[in-house]
Copies of this chain bind each other. A is one copy, B any other.
Amino acid sequence: MTFTQVKYDETSDLNVVELKNNFQKRKILKHLFLYGAMTNTDLGKFVKLSTPKIISLLNELKTENLVEELGQGTSSGGRRPNLYGNAEDAFYIVGISINIYKTSVSVYNAKNQKVTDDQILTLTISHGTSIIDPIVEFTENIIREKNIPRDKILGIGIEMPGMVDSETGINKTYMVSDEPVAEIFRKKFGMEVFIENDAKTRAFAELKFGLAHGRKNVLAIHLDWGIGLGIIVNGKLYKGRDGFAGEFGHLPMVDNGILCKCGKQGCLETIASGTAIARMAKEGMKAGSSSFLPQLIQDDLENIEIRKVVQAATMGDQYSISILANVGHWLGKGLAYLIQIFNPELIILGGRMSEANQFILPPIQQAIQIFCIPELGNAMEIKVSELGSQAGIQGVAAMLLEHVLDRQ
């Protein structure tokens, strides 16, 4: 199934695409999207321009219906500043989050407000491209139902697991095809598409909206079925030569260990990921070691999931607790490597497994003490992400915005 490509209506109102030759205005729109309504002075800190210049740019943006005046801010004894914000309908961004077992779609307006309800499609990602068409159709339906004007959509950002090169639009792990997967989406949607690895989009979300905001050197661990790492250095997301930086889950940790799906043995992911937890839980149940787990999963081994193990641990199940402690130990040892290499100020734990906090944080801390030079281990904090389930989709939407507005 394909969709016709929509050309921009040349007689329509001014839209954000026409700003392509004005870097300063695009920068203002970007900051108003990311950080909400601001005063002239606040904007000056980002765009490094004088007050008269910014005002004149804002006035132009106002006449183009891209920016609105939103009343006045507070003052500590002086004239109150005007507040400026993006017009809701200045533009829209579509964010798609492809997970292993489900895909969700959200549309954001220029105020970074979600304009759609939770839209979830149950689909299992695979090596091939079979899930592309259902995702395109699902997304097009949402755009149509919500009456989002196509010519105001800046583009579509898609986060997904796997080894993603956002420059070439290729995922080496999933949705592999002769043509780059981003290009396939781009043709089907008839608009700009940007793909990125999920651990990186979440790190980016932390940088813009979360605990890493305003920080320079942060590591964001994404604990899900696999183990991902987003690296923030000098205040920017680091991608590496091909976009594959952060393969933390495949650090070799155990000599002659379990075979990993990457082909090597004893990767961190084989002993400290969601997948590893499920494996250990199954092994334990077969050996009769767990008292609560069998009930919680109704004796169906396929129901095993991180959440169930955490639930059993919370109920006091010794075996589940020991699984999580073990996972924490290995994660901590892995983090010790990262801390010594990066000397970060902050490590953020996010993803499904961060629900197991109370069980994995203490062994993580302990392993760091064992394996880290004290000057480095102590200079750093570990925090659990405060961004909710929308983190990935928010992150990839913001990345798309930068991708579109920053270029040239």
- The interface residues of chain B lying within 8 Å CB-to-CB of A172 are 375
- The interface residues of chain B lying within 8 Å CB-to-CB of A243 are 343
Are B373 and A229 interface neighbours, CB within 8 A?
no
A185 in the interface (beta carbon within 8 A): no
**Whose C-beta in chain B lies nearest to the C-beta of A237?**
B234
* Total identical chains: 2
Q: Separation in Å of the A244 CB from the closest CB of chain B? A: 4
Are B341 and A338 interface neighbours, CB within 8 A?
yes
Chain A contacts with B in 241-262, Cβ cutoff 8 A: 241-248, 250-252, 262
Interface string of A201-233 (1 = CB under 8 A from B): 000000000000000110000000000010101
A19 in the interface (beta carbon within 8 A): no
Are A241 and B343 interface neighbours, CB within 8 A?
yes
Give the distance in Å from the alpha carbon of A373 to the alpha carbon of B345 in the complex.
28
A336 in the interface (beta carbon within 8 A): yes
- The interface residues of chain B lying within 8 Å CB-to-CB of A380 are 241
Are A229 and B341 interface neighbours, CB within 8 A?
yes
- The interface residues of chain B lying within 8 Å CB-to-CB of A373 are 163, 247, 250, 262-264
Which has the most chain B C-beta neighbours within 10 Å: A336, A340, A370? A340
**Whose C-beta in chain B lies nearest to the C-beta of A217?**
B241
A379 in the interface (beta carbon within 8 A): yes
List 14 other contacts, CB 8 Å, given A217-B240, A241-B344, A244-B379. Answer: A231-B341, A233-B233, A233-B238, A234-B234, A234-B236, A234-B238, A241-B343, A241-B380, A242-B343, A244-B375, A250-B373, A252-B333, A264-B371, A338-B341
Instruction: List A residues at the B interface (Cβ < 8 Å).
Output: 163, 172, 216-217, 229, 231, 233-234, 236, 238-248, 250-252, 262-264, 333, 336-338, 340-345, 370-371, 373, 375-376, 379-380
Query: When the two chains form the complex, which single residue of B244, B343, B370 contacts A247, counting CB atoms closer than 8 Å?
Result: B343
Give the distance in Å from the alpha carbon of A104 to the alpha carbon of B318 in the complex.
61
Are B333 and A371 interface neighbours, CB within 8 A?
no
Known A-B contacts A234-B233, A336-B252, A371-B252; A342 and B217 likewise in contact (beta carbons under 8 Å): no
Q: Separation in Å of the A127 CB from the closest CB of chain B? A: 15
- The interface residues of chain B lying within 8 Å CB-to-CB of A344 are 240-241
Which has the most chain B C-beta neighbours within 10 Å: A243, A263, A376? A376
Are B240 and A342 interface neighbours, CB within 8 A?
yes
Q: Separation in Å of the A4 CB from the closest CB of chain B? A: 36
Instruction: Provide 19 A-B residue pairs closer than 8 Å at the C-beta atoms, listed in order of the A residue.
Output: A163-B375, A172-B375, A216-B241, A234-B236, A234-B238, A242-B379, A244-B343, A245-B341, A245-B342, A246-B343, A247-B343, A248-B340, A250-B373, A251-B341, A252-B333, A252-B336, A252-B371, A264-B371, A264-B373
